[in-house]
Chains A and B, each alone.
Chain A
Amino acid sequence: MPKITFVPYRQEEITVEAEIGSTVMETAVRNGIPGIEAECGGACACATCHVYVEDGWYEKVGAPQPMEEDMLDFAWEVKPNSRLSCQMKVTAELDGLVVHVPERQA
């Protein structure tokens, strides 16, 4: 199984196994990663699963679809490497992915 590393804001990083086909948000919630709120349960309707993708990984992960880009308008401190983790599907290629959790969700 691919491994994903979450870096919660100003806390130790946590590396967990992720199921292929699930989302990065689901992986975070299943493992109790602090700072991923995911209020809407992955419907791309709340922007509280916002993460920053580590340098070098963004190209592999890909840019957001228009619906996600719209929802990012509701996130806080959006950067060029911002993604909503519920819209990122885990694939074998993402083994080793590192994402950072922002200081706060919107």
Chain B
Amino acid sequence: MSERISTDVVIIGAGPVGLFAVFELGLLDLKCHLIDILDKPGGQCAELYPEKPIYDIPAYPVIGAQELVDKLQEQIKPFGPIFHYGQQVEKVEKLDDGSFLVGTDAGTEFAAKVVVIAAGGGSFQPKRPPVPGIEGYEGTSVFYSVRKMDAFRDQSIVIVGGGDSALDWTLNLQPIAKRVTLVHRRDDFRGAPHSVDQMRALVAEGKVDLVIGQIAGLEGEGADLSGVVIKKTDGSTVTIPATRMMPFFGLTMKLGPIAQWGLNLTENLIAVDTEKFETSEPGIFAIGDINSYPGKLKLILSGFHEAALMAQAAKRIVDPTKRLVFQYTTSSTSLQKKLGVN
């Protein structure tokens, strides 16, 4: 286990609202670490609709979702936020001195004076295809990501999907596997053309099997998979011998470990007040899509407002003796210095 990282604020979730919170907290001299299970910033905007236009961001008659994320990144750069990607926050615990211990599934630990939950609709996680009994094989035979390559060595692997993840793992696992079979519902792949070409070359050399069809069932004993039943386009079924399967059906949002942190929830959302957006645990705030209060609207705009008010309350916790003076970025030389524009 690595050493504990000390910081003013840990922000859970690097969606648009978590990103803007860095700005509001930064104006008040608070330093932030952000954690996201995705490998990039932007939450729903970047993962679900990067190419789509948004029409209700003030002063932008239209802005692309990814463009909004890029601009937020640029705006918060002066405050030097530190990002920890590809990690899910699993625990948040109160320590004796009133600060919080935040721990991720990768073993990273933080000691933070304030925790801001900007977790949106929850953690982005791989979709589980609705094959009967698949749960029983997960973690032993069915995997949605590769943590240890060795778990795939000399195995008969079925990879399902037509995007980059499916293609990349087909290419990466082929050299160490006993056999790799790629299954996709059509003979057309979304993934990068270069990867598609490499995959087709391996198929032509007889090193990878390509089957056009959809999963219809799983066969095996206990948690050990022995075959994957595939329904082909003509309606016939084949069983491919397999000891490992990796399905790639995109990502979905799941609340995840947040429910276990002892906070008051209403219908899977975190209840907050509308003055500080604080949860039932003083020092833990919730902003953006994840929170709930009378009149809440799940809009980026609302999350930005919540971030500004939350930051004032967070500052009082981190620096209780410091008197807060209200200032405009337009005219305050001290704020402008922080932004690096003066």
Q: Is B283 an interface residue (CB 8 A)?
A: no
A35 CB, min distance to chain B CBs, angstroms: 13
**A77–B129 alpha-carbon span in the complex (Å):** 10
How many Å lie between the Cα of A76 and that of B129 in the bound state?
Answer: 7
Whether the pair A74, B250 counts as a contact (CB closer than 8 A) is yes
Is B185 on the interface with A (CB-CB < 8 A)?
yes
Smallest distance from the beta carbon of A45 to chain B beta carbons, Å? 4
Closest to A71 in B: B250
Within the complex, the shortest CB–CB distance from B42 to chain A, in Å, comes to: 13
Question: Which residue in B49, B130, B214 is a CB contact (below 8 Å) of A78?
Answer: B214
Contacts of A70 in B (CB 8 A): 162, 190
Q: Given A104-B130, A106-B127, A106-B130, verify A74-B249 contact (CB < 8 Å).
A: yes
Q: Is the pair B184, A73 in contact by a Cβ cutoff of 8 Å?
A: yes
Contacts known (A40-B49, A43-B48, A46-B48); A73 close to B161, Cβ less than 8 A: yes
- With the chains together, A106 CA to B252 CA distance in Å? 10
Asked whether B256 is an interface residue with its Cβ less than 8 Å from the other chain, the reply is no
Interface string of A45-85 (1 = CB under 8 A from B): 11100000000000000000000011011101110000000
Whether B190 contacts A73 by the Cβ 8 Å rule is yes
Distance of A78 Cα from B48 Cα, bound (Å): 21
The 8 Å CB contact of B185, one of A39, A43, A78, A104, is A78
Q: Is the interface of B mostly helix, strand, loop or mixed?
A: loop
Q: Report the separation of the CA atoms of residues A69 and B249 in the bound assembly, to the nearest whole angstrom.
A: 14
- In the complex, which residues 181-199 of chain B have their Cβ closer than 8 Å to any Cβ of chain A? 184-186, 188, 190
Tell me if B249 and A106 are in contact (CB < 8 A): yes
- CB pair A45–B49 under 8 Å, yes or no, is yes
Which chain B residues lie closer than 8 Å to A77 at the CB level? Answer: 214
B163 close to chain A: CB less than 8 A: yes
User: Is B52 among interface residues, defined by CB-CB distance under 8 A?
Assistant: yes
Least Cβ–Cβ distance between B65 and chain A, in angstroms: 9
Q: Complex: how many Å from CA A106 to CA B49?
A: 18
Across the interface, name the chain B residue whose C-beta is closest to A104.
B130
Nearest-CB residue, chain B, relative to A82: B185
Q: Is the CB of B48 within 8 A of A40?
A: yes
Whether A43 and B52, one on each chain, are in contact in the complex, defined by CB atoms closer than 8 angstroms, is yes
Query: Distance (Å) between the CB of A56 and the closest chain B CB?
Result: 20
CB pair B163–A73 under 8 Å, yes or no, is yes
User: In the complex, what residues of B have CB within 8 A of residue A43's CB?
Assistant: 48-49, 52
Chain B hits for A73, CB < 8 A = 161-163, 184-186, 190, 249
- Cα A104 to Cα B163 in complex, Å, equals 22
Which B159-183 residues have a C-beta within 8 angstroms of A? 161-163
Cβ–Cβ < 8 Å partners of B186 in chain A: 69, 73
Give A39 to B130 CA distance when docked, in angstroms.
Answer: 17
B233-272 vs A, CB cutoff 8 Å, 1 = contact: the mask equals 0000000000000000110100000000000000000000
Q: Mark B108-149, 1 if CB is under 8 A from A, else 0.
A: 000000000000000000010110000000000000000000
Residues of B within 8 A of A (CB): 48-49, 52, 127, 129-130, 161-163, 184-186, 188, 190, 214, 249-250, 252
- Given known contacts A47-B250, A106-B127, what 6 new A-B pairs fall within 8 Å (CB)? A46-B48, A70-B162, A70-B190, A73-B163, A73-B249, A74-B127
Sampled A-B contacts (16; CB under 8 Å): A40-B48, A43-B48, A45-B48, A45-B49, A47-B250, A69-B188, A70-B162, A73-B161, A73-B163, A73-B185, A74-B127, A76-B129, A77-B214, A106-B127, A106-B129, A106-B250
Q: Sorted from nearest, which 6 A-B pairs have the closest CB atoms?
A: A74-B250, A45-B48, A70-B190, A43-B49, A73-B162, A74-B249
